[in-house]
Amino acid sequence: MSRTSLVKFAWLSMAAAVATIALKAAAWWLTGSVGLLSDALESFVNLAAAVVTLAMLSIAARPPDEEHAYGYSKAEYFASGFEGTLILVAAALIAMAAIERLLSPRPLEHVGVGLAISIVASAVNFGAARVLARAGRDYRSIALEADAKHLMTDVWTSVGVVAGVALVALSGWLWLDPTIALAVAAQIVWTGVGIVRRSVHGLLDRALPEAERRAIESALDPFRAQGIEFHALRTRAAAGRSFVSMHVLVPGAWSVQRGHEAVEEIESGVRGAIPGATVFTHLEPLEDPASYRDESLDRASP
């Protein structure tokens, strides 16, 4: 599947958000529960995030051009960062509503019907989250992964809200409803901070995960056994794309053809370890001292 086709998952997220907004708003209207109100507010965040995800996935799918030779894949980080920020805003709104209700408790109404509607909404979110999470893993889309994590957080907070509201109805402890809403706010703050942090790391060209770096080293070991050496090995992730660059040191007596064949095999081995990776190699002679003065990003002076 091309990355262009990933936008259909953003449409799925938008459809799920619209459905859950309607259902959870109805549940809140029927019961008057601030816990269910917090659940409904988060669904509005889901919708806004899905709209931004759709826009950013469309941009990220554009092919490289003269001004963006490495493509547009980093646009996904803007979607996930925006979603994380919206989550934090939703948490603040939920906390404000909960504090107001703590100060002015109100009895709940029509609890049974309201909870049934909320459960249906949670089931919709759960199904959408599973689909988005699988697509995010398969196509290495941070935007879809962030959306899936947000929806799953919504599911678990909904479970807590439903249980809490049911307990309020059974016990008559009105303070429990806003307390649950505050717990929901704290939980989604944790999720939002994590999403924002991952987006920032991506925009800062963070290296590939350690497991993938080990896989690259393992792919290079057979060539080391042939007397080939490597340095200046660098990796970075750009949403669904991986970039690997390295200097390949071979005996200076080798012909250009032999060196070329070696780096072709090396690049193929790395792509086998990291499917879809873009690999850059720079060939250098083992015996030349100048080959060891360019291991850092800024080449050392002679």
Q: What is the pLDDT of residues 94-142, one digit of tens each?
A: 777 777 767 777 666 666 777 788 788 888 888 888 888 888 777 777 7
Q: What is the pLDDT of residues 218-256, one digit of tens each?
A: 999 999 998 899 998 999 887 667 899 999 999 999 999
Burial profile 165-187: b = 16 or more Cβ within 10 angstroms, e = fewer = beebbeeeebebbbbbbbbbbee
pLDDT at 64 over 90: no
Task: Please tell me the predicted confidence (pLDDT) of residue 39.
Answer: 67
Q: What is the pLDDT of residues 38-47, one digit of tens each?
A: 667 767 777 7
Ordered by start, the domain boundaries in the chain are: 3-203, 210-292
pLDDT at 2 over 60: no
Task: Please tell me the predicted confidence (pLDDT) of residue 223.
Answer: 94
CATH superfamily of 3-203: Cation efflux protein transmembrane domain (1.20.1510.10)
Task: Please tell me the predicted confidence (pLDDT) of residue 1.
Answer: 47
SS3 content of the chain, % helix, strand, coil (to 5): 70, 10, 20
Burial profile 117-138: b = 16 or more Cβ within 10 angstroms, e = fewer = bbeebbebbbebbebbbebbee
Percent share of the chain, pLDDT over 90: 20
Rounded CA-CA distance 202/225 in Å is 34
Task: Please tell me the predicted confidence (pLDDT) of residue 268.
Answer: 94
Q: What is the pLDDT of residues 249-278, one digit of tens each?
A: 999 999 999 999 999 999 999 999 998 888
Select the CATH number that applies to the domain covering 210-292 from these four: 3.40.50.11240, 3.40.50.300, 3.30.70.1350, 2.30.31.10: 3.30.70.1350
- Burial of residue 216 (number of CB atoms within 10 Å: 0-12, 13-18, 19+): buried
Centre a 10 Å sphere on the Cβ of residue 199 and count the other Cβ atoms it contains.
Answer: 25
Amino acid 208 reads: L
| Average per-residue pLDDT for the chain | 80
Task: Output the six-digit token pair for 276.
Answer: 């879809």
Average the pLDDT over 66-76 and give the result: 79
- Tell me which residue has tokens 């370890």: 273
Task: Please tell me the predicted confidence (pLDDT) of residue 153.
Answer: 73
Centre a 10 Å sphere on the Cβ of residue 229 and count the other Cβ atoms it contains.
Answer: 14
Vertex 275 angle, CA 7 and 273, to 5°: 155
Centre a 10 Å sphere on the Cβ of residue 220 and count the other Cβ atoms it contains.
Answer: 20
For the CA atoms of 265, 269, 275, 279, the dihedral, rounded to the nearest 10 degrees, stands at -60
- Tell me which residue has tokens 């873009």: 278
Whether this prediction's pTM lies above 0.75 is answered by no
Percent share of the chain, pLDDT over 70: 89
- Give the sheet arrangement for strand 278-285, strand by strand: 229-238, 241-250, 278-285
Average the pLDDT over 26-45 and give the result: 73
15 against 221, higher pLDDT = 221
Task: Output the six-digit token pair for 287.
Answer: 């015996």
Task: Please tell me the predicted confidence (pLDDT) of residue 107.
Answer: 65
Q: What is the pLDDT of residues 180-202, one digit of tens each?
A: 777 777 877 877 787 788 777 77
